[in-house]
């Protein structure tokens, strides 16, 4: 098992939000331990007191607002925000400082309910709180998490978070823009190269890139839009601007990035009522929802669902699912695979009564068709990874958009083939990869009796693969393996859709 496979296996047991919670707790715990040896400038007691005040103030404000507005309170979100505040505002036992931290937590918690658009908060709550107390002259954020001795643990948490969320490139844009500017600024003060490196470690580059900039709910829906936001934040983060009424700070840079994100209209507050469900395969269902308003998504994108329920396990109550419906349809359909044993979320979703409602935070993704319909395409799907391709095909049928498509579809058994009627109606070439024999195949379908998709399989069934645009969808190990195979066959244009923590 290589490092990538090990990370995938370990991270698959928790959601991205839970991973951030664990990561932030890990950073705080490392700092707490180091404080006993004098390697952190704050006392262990001050750290404990500040953590308690930060978390409880955020949760208390959120709980109060939730009761006032009749909205479900996300305890995990409050924990994450409180942890961030405890890592960017200096710990202290001074009553005045703790009161300032308390107000910062209240500001962060309230902002999630007051400063909203389409029901979703606009600004990163911790960044907003840090900015407000700074402008008010109450001290602001010291960003002490950027203490050089904490760099290894912050780097590890950032890398795991970015790897799991597939936002490494977004963070890379931010770092590629900000680091050269910072080095130029440092050199203007006559610093040496060694001093510059130390100063970089004392700047919250890694923490901002890995935790705050890439917060899912304040990101735009498309990757290029994320790059734009990351580049703008990178410039503002590094350039020492002194505006007429306020100085540029990391918090203000993040907030301006959040405003840029709102321009792209990424976030929605969507309520969807379950109308019906149908069995696609022994372990797969399609759920049909009626949203309270039209959802303007593109075929191939995904939606995040929230389903609060009793006895929530450590995977949480949020999941992302690819649309299987065509855009512009009144109904929204999602294909869902139910494993045994299931997470608490999947168990609640599987038994959700018809007529019940779920909420969605928005939709994201770049897994969309090329603009030129003449571009030949290869789909590579692993199990439930077939779902975004179904949305592609339904959209094509609706708009009479005929494309040259080959689907290579790996399943554990013929019984697990989902959406057979959609695939047949689309009239595309379908290659089923499974070891079990299939008694009867529709026209344009073939079977390859091997356990998994390999370079050799793809080369045989799609001989012109190098000239096609490839789309790969499925669990992370499947996608990584298929991408490696396609790269070795000189496929130049590859898009991937990872089913993270599915």
Domain annotation for the chain: domains and CATH numbers: 3-263 (no CATH), 267-364 (2.40.30.10), 377-499 (3.40.50.80)
- The three-state secondary structure class of 155 is helix
Alpha helices in 275-356 (DSSP H): 344-350
List, run by run, the mean pLDDT of 10-residue segments along the chain (502 residues): 56 70 95 96 96 96 89 83 97 96 96 79 93 90 95 94 88 96 91 89 95 86 92 94 82 94 72 94 94 90 88 77 91 90 87 93 87 94 95 90 93 94 95 93 94 94 96 92 95 88 48
Counting beta carbons within 10 angstroms of the beta carbon of residue 38, is it exposed (0 to 12), middle (13 to 18) or buried (19 or more)? exposed
User: 469-475 and 445-448 as β-strands: parallel, antiparallel, unpaired?
Assistant: unpaired
Counting beta carbons within 10 angstroms of the beta carbon of residue 388, is it exposed (0 to 12), middle (13 to 18) or buried (19 or more)? buried
Q: Which of 42, 143, 126 is nearest to 82 (CA)?
A: 126
Q: Which of 324, 366, 399, 365 is nearest to 469 (CA)?
A: 366
- The structure tokens listed for 272 are 């969807």
- The structure tokens listed for 102 are 């308390």
Distances in whole angstroms, Cα of residue 290 to Cα of each of 277, 284, 357: 12, 20, 9
Q: How does DSSP assign 417-454, residue by residue?
A: ---HHHHHHHT-EEEEE-SS--S---TTEEEE-SSS--
Q: How far apart are CA 358 and CA 27, in angstroms?
A: 34
Alpha helices in 3-89 (DSSP H): 3-11, 16-35, 44-69, 75-88
Rounded to the nearest integer, the mean pLDDT of the chain is: 90
**Contacts of 351 by beta carbon, 8 Å cutoff, 6+ apart:** none
* pLDDT at site 266: 47
């Amino acid at each position: 098992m290589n490092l990538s496979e090990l990370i995938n296996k370990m991270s698959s047991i928790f959601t991205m939000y839970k991973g951030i919670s664990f990561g932030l707790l890990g950073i705080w715990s490392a700092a707490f331990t180091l404080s006993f040896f004098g390697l952190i400038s704050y006392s262990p007691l001050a750290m404990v007191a500040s953590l308690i005040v930060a978390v409880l103030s955020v949760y208390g404000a959120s709980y109060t607002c939730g009761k006032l507005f009749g909205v479900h309170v996300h305890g995990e979100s409050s924990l994450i925000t409180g942890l961030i505040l405890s890592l960017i505002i200096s710990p202290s036992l001074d009553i005045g400082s703790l009161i300032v931290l308390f107000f910062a937590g209240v500001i962060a918690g309230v902002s999630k309910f007051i400063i909203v658009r389409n029901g979703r908060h606009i600004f990163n709550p911790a960044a907003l709180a840090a900015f407000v107390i700074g402008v008010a002259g109450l001290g602001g954020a010291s960003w002490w998490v950027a203490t050089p001795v904490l760099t290894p643990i912050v780097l590890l948490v950032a890398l795991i978070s970015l790897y799991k969320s597939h936002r490494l490139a977004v963070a890379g844009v931010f770092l590629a823009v900000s680091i050269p500017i910072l080095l130029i600024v440092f050199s203007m003060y006559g610093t040496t190269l060694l001093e510059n490196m130390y100063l970089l470690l004392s700047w919250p580059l890694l923490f901002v890139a890995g935790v705050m900039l890439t917060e899912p709910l304040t990101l735009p829906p498309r990757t290029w839009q994320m790059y734009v936001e990351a580049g703008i934040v990178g410039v503002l983060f590094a350039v020492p601007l002194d505006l007429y009424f306020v100085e540029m700070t990391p918090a203000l840079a993040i907030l301006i990035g959040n405003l840029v994100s709102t321009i792209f209209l990424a976030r929605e507050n969507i309520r969807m009522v379950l109308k019906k469900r149908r069995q696609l395969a022994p372990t797969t269902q399609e759920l049909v929802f009626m949203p309270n308003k039209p959802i303007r998504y593109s075929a191939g994108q995904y939606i995040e669902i929230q389903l609060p329920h009793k006895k929530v396990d450590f995977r949480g109550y949020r999941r992302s699912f690819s649309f299987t419906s065509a855009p512009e349809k009144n109904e929204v359909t999602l294909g869902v695979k139910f494993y045994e044993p299931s997470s608490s979320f999947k168990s609640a979703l599987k038994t959700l009564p018809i007529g019940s409602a779920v909420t969605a935070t928005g939709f994201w993704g770049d897994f969309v068709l090329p603009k030129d319909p003449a571009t030949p395409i290869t789909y590579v799907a692993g199990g439930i990874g077939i779902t975004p391709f179904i949305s592609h095909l339904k959209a094509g049928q609706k708009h009479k958009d005929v494309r040259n498509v080959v689907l290579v579809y790996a399943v554990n058994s013929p019984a697990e083939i989902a959406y057979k009627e959609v695939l047949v109606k689309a009239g595309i070439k379908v290659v089923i990869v499974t070891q079990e024999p299939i008694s009867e195949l529709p026209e344009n379908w073939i079977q390859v009796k091997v356990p998994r998709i390999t370079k050799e399989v793809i080369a045989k069934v799609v001989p012109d693969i190098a000239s096609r645009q490839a789309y790969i969808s499925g669990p992370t190990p499947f996608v990584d393996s298929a991408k490696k195979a396609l790269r070795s066959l000189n496929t130049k244009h590859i898009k991937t859709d990872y089913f993270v923590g599915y």
